[in-house]
Amino acid sequence: LITDTRDATHLGLQFAPPRIDLNGVRGHWLKVVDTMSKNLAFLCKARKVEYVNGRGTFRDGRTVQVEGGVAYRFEHCVVATGSTPVRPPAFFGTNNPRVMDSTGALQLEDVPPRLLVVGGGYIGLEMGYVYAALGSKVTVVELTEGLLPGVDRDLVLPLHKRLETLFDKIYLRTKVVKLEDVKGGIKAFLEGADVADKEPVFERVLVAVGRKPNTRDIGLDKAGVAVDDKGFVTVDEKRRTTSERIFAIGDVAGEPMLAHKATYEGKIAAAAILGEKAVYDVRAVPAVVFTDPEIAWCGLTETEAKKQKREVKKVKFNWLASGRAMTLARTEGVTKLLIDPETERVLGVGIVGVDAGEMIGEAMLAIEMSATAKDLALTMHAHPTLSETIYEAAEDFYGVATHKAPSKKN
Ligand code: NAD
């Protein structure tokens, strides 16, 4: 519904904001959630998994008590209690329903004329994008010097440029020092060098400044489960906690807080419980920011390579030279490979562009299989597709990318 902007771009309307309507989006969202929940209930039944709805707490290392219900004595238990949004108490103490977290923002109750997004990370940009597409004037306030801190700057740049056309304002190095209820809205007090109006008013505020693991108040101490100073459950490579029979997976078991990491860990824990040889030993975890364009990366990033002072050879393929990107009128993308100069192994891949999240699967396989740039360059890719940009970037490592003029060195 949202990335269908490509239909519009076919008509030459590059970067035209997508036209989506609230009821259409909400109706579709409800249908998807309902169908997926029903499917899960069906799969639970088919696998003889009993589903109990209630709040559970550990009584000891073998028992979980469900509030107002029965106590379960278990052979093994897997903790997957997830995380909750951080709410800085000093200025987000307000209980005003106009101040939302990601769960509230996903309800799509209305389209606020003016929306303040505090935090320019995953949630802030994804939800800010949705509300901008619905028609809100979105202001993003980010504490650090760039959107999506930690992500390679060359990948963020095309998204930042696009967001500048969709959002009303993007303030970097800026702080929200206080939020105050006023008639018909929330007044935000902003502190930042580039801020013109330091006390703007918004109909709604989305707070997206990070998440913290849900490890408090579930009796982990009674069960002998240790938690580190950031609140994450301490786990070993099988995802076993410090309590013999208890395992932990997902957001409670450490960063990155991503759903696919949780699923993967769940399978490792289940195999370990069954006594199989299984450890969490991945070379990479894919990350995708679901904006338009998307940003996706896996393995080593340039930022990490610099920090580690690790020598890597970077090859980049600009989507301006991709036939498929041209037909989509979305040539702002970039595909980047980081290659070990000695072994020629692919160490990391970063992509910004439409469908980057779909393309990162190939990059993950390459990294997990220790593929070299040659492996990618010798793998035929369908034409015309965006995946050819991975292929051409790999060819570029050898100076022979078909759609790139050879550099003088080569
Ligand atoms: P985040 O860590 O991605 O971003 C938080 C941002 O808020 C950072 O840029 C940070 O610098 C900024 N910030 C912190 N304090 C601030 C303040 N007081 N004022 C202004 N800015 C401030 O966190 P998130 O967006 O809340 O998402 C939480 C986690 O959920 C993510 O780290 C990610 O692991 C997960 N997530 C993933 C996806 C996905 O996979 N597409 C989507 C949503 C969430």
CB 298 within 8 A of CB 357: no
The tally of CA atoms less than 13 A away on the side-chain side of residue 393 is 27
The tally of CA atoms less than 13 A away on the side-chain side of residue 149 is 11
At 161-190, the pLDDT tens digits run: 999 999 999 999 999 999 999 999 999 999
Residue nearest to atom 15 of ligand 1 (CA): 209
Q: What is the pLDDT of residue 10?
A: 44
Residue nearest to atom 33 of ligand 1 (CA): 257
148 Cβ neighbours under 8 A, 6+ residues apart: 120, 121, 122, 125, 156, 159, 289, 295
> Is residue 349 in contact with ligand 1, taking CB distance under 6 Å?
no
Between CA 389 and CA 61 the distance in angstroms is 52
> Is residue 359 in contact with ligand 1, taking CB distance under 6 Å?
no
The residues facing 349 across adjacent strands are 298, 337
Q: What is the pLDDT of residue 293?
A: 97
Ligand 1 atom closest to Cα of residue 255 = 34
The alpha carbon of 16 and the centre of ligand 1 are apart by a number of angstroms equal to 27
Ligand 1 atom closest to Cα of residue 259 = 40
Q: Which residues of the chain have pLDDT under 70?
A: 1-19, 90-94, 408-410
- Enter the tokens of residue 406: 């050879």
Which residues are identified as catalytic? 383
State whether the Cα torsion 409-297-312-280 is positive or negative: negative
Q: What is the pLDDT of residue 131?
A: 96
Q: Which of 125, 130, 209 to mutate to test the pocket of ligand 1 (most atoms within 8 A of CB)?
A: 209
> Is residue 143 in contact with ligand 1, taking CB distance under 6 Å?
yes
Q: What is the pLDDT of residue 95?
A: 78
Write the CA distances from 357 to 109, 136, 206, 349, 350, integer angstroms: 28, 26, 25, 12, 10
Q: What is the pLDDT of residue 199?
A: 96
State whether the Cα torsion 3-260-234-150 is positive or negative: negative
At 230-272, the pLDDT tens digits run: 999 999 999 999 999 999 999 999 999 999 999 999 999 999 9
At 98-137, the pLDDT tens digits run: 999 999 999 888 999 999 999 999 999 999 999 999 999 9
CA 212 to chain centre: 15
Between CA 104 and CA 127 the distance in angstroms is 11
Residue 301 exposed, middle or buried by CB count within 10 Å (0-12, 13-18, 19+): buried
Residue 265 exposed, middle or buried by CB count within 10 Å (0-12, 13-18, 19+): buried
> Is residue 29 in contact with ligand 1, taking CB distance under 6 Å?
no
Write the CA distances from 81 to 16, 88, 214, 247, integer angstroms: 40, 21, 6, 12
> Is residue 293 in contact with ligand 1, taking CB distance under 6 Å?
no
Residue nearest to atom 4 of ligand 1 (CA): 121
Q: Rg of the chain's alpha carbons, rounded to an integer?
A: 24
> Is residue 69 in contact with ligand 1, taking CB distance under 6 Å?
no
291, 293, 298, 303 alpha-carbon torsion, rounded to 10°: -100
